[in-house]
Chain A
Amino acid sequence: MSKRYYTCLFAGEAGYGVMSAGSTIAKGANRNGLWPFVVNEYPSLIQGGLNSCLVRLAEQSIASYEENIDFLGLFSQQGFDCYADKLSSDAIVLYDPATTQVDKSKVPAGALLYPVSLASFIPKGGAKIMINSAMLGGFCALTGYPKHIVIDTIKSEFPNAKVQQENILIVEEVYAHVVSSLPSEKIFPFDFQKSADPKILMNGNEAISIAAIKAGCKFSAGYPMTPGSSVLSYLADHGRNFGLVFKQAEDEIAAINMLIGASYAGVRTIGSTSGGGFALMVEALGFAAIAEVPIVMVNAQRGGPSTGLPTRTAQADLNFVVYASQGEFPRIVVAPGDIEECFYETFRVFNLVDKYQVPCIILTDKYLADSSVSHLPFTTDHLTIDRGKIFEERATREEPYLRYQNTPDGVSERAFPGQIGGRHIATSYTHGEDGFYSSGNKEYAINEPTVVVESMDKLFNKLPSMENDIPGIKLHGPADADLTIIAWGSTKGAILEAIEQATSLGISVNFLQVVYMSPFPTTAIELVLQSAKKTLLIEGNKTAQLGTILTAHTGYKADHSLLKYNSRAFVPSEILAKIKEVFF
Chain B
Amino acid sequence: MSANDINVSYVPTWCAGCGNYGIINALKKAMSSLNLDLEQTVLATGIGCASKISQYVNTYRIETLHGRSLPVATGVKLANHNLTVIAEGGDGDGMGLGMGHFIHTARRNLDITYFIHNNQIYGLTKGQTSPTSDLGSITKFTPAPLGNVEQPINIVKMALNAGATFVARGFVGNSTQLVALMIEAIKHPGFAVVDILQPCVTFNHVNTYPWYQQRVKVIDNMEGYDPTSLEKALSFATLWGDEIPIGLYYRNIRPTFNESLPQLSREPLAKQPLDNIDIAGLMKEFY
Contacts and interface: CB of A to CB of B under 8 A. Distances in A.
A377 B42 CA distance: 42
A243 interface: yes
* A213, A261, A416, A426: most-surrounded residue (chain B CB, <10 A): A261
Of A245, A283, A436, most B-chain CB atoms within 10 Å: A245
Interface stretch (B113-121, B194-202, B277-285): B277-285
A218 B79 contact: yes
B60 A423 contact: yes
B104 A428 contact: no
B13 A440 contact: yes
Nearest to A240: B263
Contacts of B70: 254
A48 interface: no
A395 B100 CA distance: 40
Contacts of A422: 39, 60
Nearest to A265: B79
A563 interface: no
Contacts of B13: 440-441
Contacts of A441: 10-11, 13
Contact of B63 (A245, A250, A258, A425): A425
Interface in B44-60: 44, 47, 52, 54-55, 58-60
A119 B244 CA distance: 69
Given A265-B76, A266-B270, A287 B279 contact: no
B62 A425 contact: yes
A35 interface: no
Contacts of B286: 200-202, 206
Contact of A240 (B44, B74, B262): B262
Nearest to A428: B65
A419 B37 CA distance: 11
Interface string B260-274: 011110100110111
Interface in A245-267: 245, 247, 249-251, 253-255, 257-267
B55 A244 contact: no
Contacts of B273: 216
Contacts of B101: 250, 254
Nearest to B110: A247
A248 B277 CA distance: 24
Contacts of B218: none
Contact of A428 (B11, B42, B63, B269): B63
Contact of A247 (B52, B54, B73, B78): B78
Contacts of A418: 39-40, 60, 80, 82-83, 270
A380 B279 contact: yes
Nearest to A214: B279
A219 B55 contact: no
Nearest to B97: A253
Contact of A238 (B77, B275, B280, B282): B282
Contacts of A420: 39
A355 to B, nearest CB: 14
A536 interface: no
B269 A425 contact: no
Nearest to A254: B71
B32 interface: no
Contacts of B264: 245
A198 interface: yes
Nearest to A400: B9
Interface residues of B, number: 58
A266 B287 CA distance: 34
B10 A257 contact: no
Given A218-B269, A418-B80, A245 B55 contact: no
Contacts of A384: 275
A268 interface: yes
A158 interface: no
Nearest to B269: A218
B75 interface: yes
B178 to A, nearest CB: 24
A260 B64 contact: yes
Contacts of B270: 218, 265-267, 416, 418
Contacts of A387: 274
A384 B277 CA distance: 10
A257 to B, nearest CB: 4
Contacts of B68: 253-254, 257, 284, 287
A158 to B, nearest CB: 15
A56 to B, nearest CB: 18
B24 interface: no
A166 to B, nearest CB: 25
Contact of B39 (A221, A255, A419): A419
A210 B282 contact: yes
A462 interface: no
Contacts of A240: 262-263
B71 A253 contact: yes
A378 B284 CA distance: 11
B183 interface: no
A257 B52 contact: no
Given A219-B269, A240-B262, A266 B80 contact: yes
B38 interface: yes
Q: Which of B63, B83, B283, B286 has the most chain A CB within a 10 Å cutoff?
A: B286
Nearest to B40: A418
Contact of A423 (B59, B75, B77): B59
B287 A198 contact: yes
Contacts of B287: 30-31, 198-201
A265 B65 contact: no
A243 B272 contact: yes
Interface string A419-462: 11111111111000000110011110000000000000000000
Contacts of A210: 279, 282-283
A267 B271 CA distance: 8
Interface string A189-219: 0000000001111100010001001111011
A254 B69 CA distance: 10
B274 A260 contact: no
Contact of B75 (A200, A216, A251, A261): A261
Contacts of A206: 286
A191 to B, nearest CB: 19
Given A251-B100, A262-B269, A291-B62, A245 B78 contact: yes
Given A287-B64, A417-B80, A441-B13, A425 B54 contact: yes
Interface in A404-425: 416-425
Contacts of A215: 274
Contact of A265 (B42, B52, B63, B261): B42
A242 interface: yes
B61 interface: yes
A30 B285 CA distance: 13
B72 interface: yes
A577 interface: no
B285 to A, nearest CB: 8
A251 B266 CA distance: 28
Contacts of B263: 240, 243-245
12 contacts: A200-B286, A259-B75, A260-B75, A261-B77, A284-B68, A385-B275, A417-B83, A422-B60, A423-B58, A425-B54, A440-B10, A441-B13
- Cβ-closest 9 pairs across A and B: A261-B75, A216-B274, A257-B71, A266-B270, A265-B79, A262-B75, A261-B72, A200-B286, A262-B79
Interface of A: 30-31, 198-202, 206, 210, 213-216, 218-219, 221, 238, 240, 242-245, 247, 249-251, 253-255, 257-269, 283-284, 287, 291, 377-378, 380, 384-385, 387, 416-429, 436-437, 440-443
Given A247-B78, A261-B77, A436-B10, 18 more contacts: A218-B79, A218-B272, A245-B263, A250-B100, A254-B70, A257-B65, A261-B78, A262-B269, A263-B79, A264-B75, A267-B269, A269-B75, A377-B283, A417-B60, A423-B38, A440-B10, A440-B52, A443-B10
